[in-house]
Every structure is written in C-alpha cells, then in structure tokens.
Structure 1
Amino acid sequence: MLKSLVVALIAVASSQALAQESPWLLRARVVHIEPDNQSSPVGGVGAADTIKVSNKTIPELDITYFFTPHFAAELILTYPQKHRVTLDGADIGSFKHLPPTLNAQYHFAPGATINPYVGVGLNYTRISSVKLLNGAGDLENDSVGLSLQAGVDFRLDEHWSINADIKRVNIRSDVIVGGANVSHVKVDPVLFGLGVGYRF
C-alpha cells in the first residue's frame, strides 16, 4: 500500500513538473539539402531527369509551441538560399528559394531523456532571383507542397537538448523559356538536420 502511494505521488509530481514547462522550444540546426531532381524531358523530347539542382548545407531556425506534452506545432525558417542548376551536366544558372514550413508534431515520450517525434505539414516556397540560360529561362515563383518529418530530441537538462531530424518536402516548378513551359521539375529535397534546442 505504501509503495503504491509513493509511486502515485512520484507520478503526480512528475506530471506537474512537465505541465509547468514552458510551451516554447527554440532549435538551431545545420541542415543538408539533397534534392530528388526529377524532371520531365526538356521540350517534351530527349531524356528525363536531365535538370539538376545542387545540394546545399544551410542554417535553420525552428520555433516549436507545445499545445500539450505530446502535440506541438513547429515553424521552420531560414533565409533565401541560392542553388546552382545544371542541364545535362552543364551549368545553366541559379535561383534562390525561401521555404518556410509549418508542421504539426506528435512527441512520443515528453519529459524523457530520448523523445522521438513525427510531423506532417505544409511547405510554401518562394522562388526568386532566377538567372537561367543568360536570362532566357525562368521558374514559377511559388510552390506549395506536403512536408513529412521524423526526429528525436536527446534531453541534456531541463532546458537544453540535442536534436537530429529528417524531412522530405515537396517543391516543384515549371521551367519557362520564351513564355513556354519546357519542363516540370520535382526538386522534392530530403533535409538532414542536426542541432541544439532550448526549452524556455
């Protein structure tokens, strides 16, 4: 009886401590982007998948709000990133993209030392500063797509954690030359992230 009472008191104290945690978590990550690079044949002829977007390693800032210990929303931010574009291996120019993403997350073990999570949401990518084919080529300005996420937080203390994360984001655009769509590109990158988190 006494043992059961002690266990119950510990459980209540633990849940109260968890409930008193700030709902805000701030993460800084280093993220490596690997585009999937699928494209339709240019002009409808020739081989597919000849347009390639370069890999890139970028900084990322993530703001997470916990509605409950298990359910959270994460806003993923960075600044406009420049990518090189090749066609059949030849460099044809560059563009910049700004890809803010909002994911809903489920955390499996809140308060534990190791807390895995999954997420799903939407990405909005703004494409700008397009310089393709010496100005003859262009890209669509916007892309909206699905975002999938899985990761884990390794808790160091009540505030600090180490984070590992992987995301796949649907980013797609039409390549336009002379006002005509000449190819459809599925960038659809996989993003591998490693960083630190601070729970306020």
Structure 2
Amino acid sequence: MKLQSLVLVAAAFTMTTAFAVPAGTWSVAAGAHMVNPKSDNGTLADGTLSVEVDDDIRPTISGEYFFADNVGVELLAAIPFHHDITLTDADGNKIDAKTQHLPPTLSLQYHFDGYDLPMNVKPFVGVGINYTTFFKERIYLGNGNDLELDDSVGVAGHVGLDIPFAPTEAFRIDARYMDIKTDASLNGNDIGEVDISPWVYGVAFVKQF
C-alpha cells in the first residue's frame, strides 16, 4: 500500500508540474551567474606579460519570448561583473589591474518537450551573440597610466535544464560559453589582446506568463 501511494503521489506531481511552452508565452528568469574566464587569458606587451582574469558572481535576469512552440528568443542581462586582473612578467613580478563589464547576450533557444523525462524536466539548448562592454578599467602602475579594454562581440552557446515545481514555475540550472576577446591599450598604445572567453554557470527561478 505504501508503494502504491508513493506511485500515485509521484504521478500526480508529474501531471501537475508539466512545463510546456506554447507559442506566445513569455518567461522571466531571475538568479545569479558566475563568470569563469578560461585559464590562459593571453599575453600583453609583445608577450612579456601573461594575463590572468579572476571569477565573479552577480545577480542576473533574462526574458524569453516563444514565437513558436518550445522555440524562444532570450535576452540575458546582469548588474556589472567585477574582475581582478593580474599581469605577470618572466621574473614573476606582478602588476594588478581591474575592470567591470556588462555582457548582454541574445540567444535563439529550443526547449525539449515530450521526452517523458523524470519530473518533466525540460532540457534546452541555444546559440546566439554576446556583446560585452568594459568600463572602470584601472591598472596599478603608478599615477597617470590609463588602461582601456575595447568592447567585444562574439558567439555564445547555452545549455540548461528547467526543473518544474508548478505549472508555470521552474528552477533552472544552466551553462553558457561566451567568446569574449578584448583589445587592450595602455596610455593610448595597443598592448595586445585579452582572451577571457568564459564559461558562465548559473541558477535561476523561472516564471511563465
């Protein structure tokens, strides 16, 4: 009897938490993401300085419009991410720098449905374009030195999983790859390219309208 009751409860839960996404639906996802730059961020000053960019976590929000069943266009936004930058020469001497950036990302996404996965979880995949703008750059190299990082445009990939707990609500886990490369200049002189190209990991609460 206990086993039968558990099966009935599980079946009822599955039936009431379907997360179908019909055309014309809007969804909003609010959560947080960690920008995790690739381990080798390039070199500057003719290869004399190696670059290391650290991680950061910030609140994010995204909106998605489904123009066809299970097919949507999503825009990701966030408050500015903050990154410490370490430049290291061949002798191990270090120069500290920092920047802030905003990485709005527009993606075309497909949400898989009808695969009878446990708890009606909904995987999705997406591909799109990322635009990253850098600001408040600073380098700790004495007074009067001005570091600038150019804006970046690149492709972005997205994979994730929505875990529904109500007919129009779900918990989301996701990961994105963003192609972010920025030309760096010091006092107006080009000193090379910083290759950030991070994986971006996140969790969010999703609500359909």
**TM-score per shorter chain, which class?**
0.7 to 0.9
2:36 is aligned, of 34, 37, 42, to: 34
Counterparts in 2 of 1:55 and 1:39: CA distance versus 1, 3 Å: closer
Q: Deviations over 1:20-66 (max 9, x none)?
A: 7861111012211110153443221446xx21111011111010111
> Segments of 4+ in structure 1 off by > 3 A?
17-22, 37-41
Counterparts in 2 of 1:110 and 1:120: CA distance versus 1, 3 Å: farther
Conserved 8 A contact 2:36-2:199: yes
Distance (whole Å) between structure 2 residues aligned to residue 158 and residue 22 of structure 1:
16
Conserved 8 A contact 2:35-2:201: yes
Q: Deviations over 1:138-187 (max 9, x none)?
A: 23331101110100111111121010100010111122123222221110
Distance (whole Å) between structure 1 residues aligned to residue 46 and residue 21 of structure 2:
58
Q: TM-score, normalised by structure 2?
A: 0.78
SS at 2:170's partner residue?
strand
Distance (whole Å) between structure 1 residues aligned to residue 20 and residue 55 of structure 2:
40
Deviates most, 134-143 or 116-125: 134-143
- Which consecutive unaligned segments of at least 5 residues does structure 2 have? 1-18
1:162 and 2:164 correspond: no
Counterparts in 2 of 1:18 and 1:43: CA distance versus 1, 3 Å: closer
**Percent of pairs identical after alignment?**
26
Counterparts in 2 of 1:110 and 1:27: CA distance versus 1, 3 Å: farther
SS at 2:69's partner residue?
coil
RMSD: 2.4
SS at 1:109's partner residue?
coil
Once the two structures are TM-superposed, the CA of residue 129 in structure 1 deviates from its matched residue by: 0.8
Distance (whole Å) between structure 2 residues aligned to residue 39 and residue 74 of structure 1:
28
Conserved 8 A contact 1:26-1:63: yes
Conserved 8 A contact 1:114-1:154: yes
Q: TM-score, normalised by structure 1?
A: 0.82
Conserved 8 A contact 1:22-1:199: no
Aligned residues: 182
Q: Deviations over 1:75-113 (max 9, x none)?
A: 000122221111127352211101111000011117972
* Counterpart residue number, 2:72: 72
